[in-house]
Amino acid sequence: MSGGTTATVAVARPVSATPSNESATPPIHSAAAKLQVPGGGVKMQRQSSAPRDPKLPNMPNLVEYKNMRFLIFDAPSDRNIDLYIKEMEKHGVTDVVRVCEPTYDKQILENKGIHVHDWPFTDGDPPPSNIVGEWLHLVESRFGSFSKDGKGAVKDAGNKAIGVHCVAGLGRAPILVAMALIEGGMQPLDSVIHVRNARRGAINAKQLKFVENYKRRAKDKACIIQ
């Protein structure tokens, strides 16, 4: 190589495979690069890399209807719970309903003033009647009592929201939100569409059948579970 040759940098680009159902993470670049210098010499040069803000692979999704606001997300862990807390605080989450087995210490949220309700039920199934009652009681306590005429809750909740999550945020959590929308006056199938518009892929076939047959508690004085 002659003395007037311009130095070029060759950087290794590692290839990593990510599951099709997960968001791709930023590629990891080698911290060192081979630098060719005039005269044919090669030396190692340390690359400078600015720290990147960590991001969640699956962002929480906000579902709004009338004065009700729900934040649906997948299960946090002790390692990334701080990222979820940022999203919760951004959306004014006051309560988190956890319908799966614990994957993080709930005291972390309690210390932030976010109350955690543990109401787990079987993955892929609709919720049992006792959890339906607990859930709707919480919704009414935060957003106001459901009216018989289907006009929904009347309490001014401001910019507050209820967070709800299962493992993937696609089954158990969305079905609870759909039920609250129905109690608020939305038609059953419309509630599923509304939730899916916010959370793509939510609610499986078995759960959809449950929603189709769900009767408003405010209308019939009781939740009819079929």
Whether 123 is catalytic: yes
Fill in the amino acid letter for 52.
R
Q: Which H or E run contains 43?
A: strand 42-46
CA distances from 198 to 26, 34, 73, 174 (A): 25, 46, 11, 10
Q: Any catalytic annotation for residue 166?
A: yes
Q: Which residue out of 118, 123, 190, 223 is catalytically annotated?
A: 123
Which of helix, strand or coil describes residue 115?
strand
The letter for the amino acid at 11 is V
Quick check: 24 and 18 in contact, CB under 8 A?
Answer: yes
Q: 174: which residues sit within 8 A by CB, 6+ positions away?
A: 72, 195, 196, 199, 202, 203
Among candidate residues 74, 95, 100, 166, the one labeled active-site is: 166
End-to-end Cα separation, the chain, in angstroms: 80
Longest C-alpha distance within the chain, in Å?
Answer: 89
CA of 7: how far to CAs of 30, 32, 46, in Å? Answer: 19, 16, 15
Instruction: Just list the catalytic residues.
Output: 123, 166
